[in-house]
Amino acid sequence: LLEEQATRAEEVAHESQEILINEQADDDEDVELVPYTYLWLVRDGDNPLTDFVADEIVTELDLELYDMGWRVDQLKITGDYVYLLANVPVNESAQELVLDLKQIAAEMAQKADNTLNPDTLWADSYAVLSPGREMDTEEIQRYIDFGRQN
């Protein structure tokens, strides 16, 4: 009798766990997403990111954003900048998100190249477009030129 009760208790616990997982999945599907464009620069234009570091950040950041429930439309990282067009949960603050993104990407860069300092890797300035839209190369270059004037 004790074995039957223990087995039944395990079955109930397993069923409860499945219900919670399914409810969480349903909740994730109901989250409204809004498009945002993010753009920020490497602080030192004379010391760009290497292709290896840029590729590592793309790989890791794409996975991180997926885990956060974002839908990434474009993610481009060059020696000079990070450009991201994504659909983001509507209840998030754009300013807080870009600061978090810069920190996450800086830590990923340092992981790929331990000579990089995550606290000084990115310029203080950034651009956030809401609603997000695609930026062409010329527009990105204008932002870079503007950001490097200081």
Question: Which residue is listed with tokens 């754009």?
Answer: 94
Q: What is the pLDDT of residues 28-68, one digit of tens each?
A: 567 889 999 999 999 999 999 999 999 999 999 999 999 98
pLDDT level of residue 15 (50, 70, 90 thresholds): very low
**Averaged pLDDT, 60-80:** 94
Question: Which residue is listed with tokens 């932002």?
Answer: 143
Return the pLDDT at 75: 97
Question: At residue 105, does pLDDT exceed 50?
Answer: yes
**Averaged pLDDT, 118-139:** 95
Q: Output the CA torsion 132→117→51→148 (10° steps).
A: 60
Return the pLDDT at 150: 60
